[in-house]
Amino acid sequence: MDVLQLDLAERSYPIMVGQDLLAQTSHLLDQFSSRPFVIISNETVAPLYANLLSDQLANSELYFYHIPDGEQYKTLNTYQDIITFLLENNIARDAVLLALGGGVVGDIVGFVAATYQRGIDFIQVPTTLLSQVDSSVGGKTAVNHPLGKNMIGAFYQPKAVIIDTNTLDTLPRHQYAAGLAEVVKYGLIYDVEFFRFLESNRQAILNRDKQVLSTVIHRCCSIKASIVAEDEKESGLRAILNLGHTFGHAIEAEMGYGNWLHGEAVAVGIVQACHIALLKGRITQSELNRVVELLAFFNLPTKGPQEMNFVTYMKHMAKDKKVMAKQIRFIIPSTFGSVEITTDVTEDELQTVLG
């Protein structure tokens, strides 16, 4: 097991990465053993792992709640359903919420934890590649609004993140691919050597080789932990983690949450951001081609929905959380392996890229 530490003074916490960690939960969470646990999962993940987790925590007071599976359920209604369950069961502030699932479960449970009785502890147990390399780390919690993704939420850090790579064995192919979009993102924003590692090990990654995956997950979490430690609430540097997300969130909102997976939309957004960088002379055509080829190899889309054009993208991007003084801030490559945050993207450039 590898253990990373996200350093945020009194809000610091460990990120544990390894195989068979769910079978070691009682040991890993020993410091919480005297407290009640509320395991919140979804109807897909719960049958796979909830019993293993409950067996490990059998000496604790346990409660279970399952939500429907899918991005379309990442809503205030689902949030309220969980709050109602907690109130009906007289869950007090000494309880620990345990988010067992992918990014949707983690985001909702984190938001519940941030707001229930003004804040209670929670632990992330991510079971998808996307949540393991990205959303479970850093304390971003939220639900969606019909007009925008993650528009209702809070920054609220977990007490620990437990990443069991064995859970990737049961992940459907398209869900696994969606996580790889965020993996590629880390190479482009921060570490060109990591991008080269992904290119060199693409087949092993596609084959879910455990040793290679552990290296990948560890590196992604390490990059994110260092960025979040420097800028917890996204006042500056942390915004670079949103490469591809401004365009990707527009796709999700326009096409309907759940119709395009988050990672699929982000993959397209990464290509679009790189295309803008090409138009500005920041990267070469060869470098753009490498990005497209790697994403395509990982079974990810590289072109947006035919139903969308410049007008539909702009309708949603105008509501993006990175908008400041009514200007959209874009994250685009400044060189291959690093990015910049800029408002200097022209309408002509956007029309060229978005159609």
Is 66 catalytic? The answer is no
The catalytic residue among 66, 74, 262, 322 is 262
Q: Are 298 and 205 in contact (CB under 8 A)?
A: yes
β-pairing, 121-126 vs 96-101, is parallel
**Shortest CA distance to 216 belongs to which of 202, 229, 228?**
202
The catalytic residue among 150, 219, 232, 234 is 234
The catalytic residue among 42, 66, 149, 182 is 182
The catalytic residue among 185, 219, 238, 321 is 238
Q: Interhelix angle for 103-115 vs 76-88, to 10°?
A: 60
Is 224 catalytic? The answer is yes
The catalytic residue among 224, 316, 322, 329 is 224
Is 234 catalytic? The answer is yes
Is 193 catalytic? The answer is no
279 CB-contact burial (10 Å; exposed 0-12 / middle 13-18 / buried 19+):
middle
Is 196 catalytic? The answer is no
The catalytic residue among 66, 159, 245, 275 is 245
Q: In what order do the strands lie in the sheet with 62-67?
A: 2-6, 13-18, 161-164, 121-126, 96-101, 37-42, 62-67
Is 118 catalytic? The answer is yes
Q: Where are the beta strands (DSSP E) in 222-335?
A: 330-335
Phi-psi region of 62 (alpha: psi -120 to 50; beta: other; left: phi over 0): beta
Cβ-based neighbours of 290, under 8 Å, separated by 6 or more: 199
The catalytic residue among 150, 242, 252, 282 is 242
The catalytic residue among 66, 219, 249, 322 is 249
The catalytic residue among 10, 118, 173, 307 is 118
The catalytic residue among 74, 140, 159, 321 is 140
Residues catalogued as catalytic = 118, 140, 182, 224, 234, 238, 242, 245, 249, 262
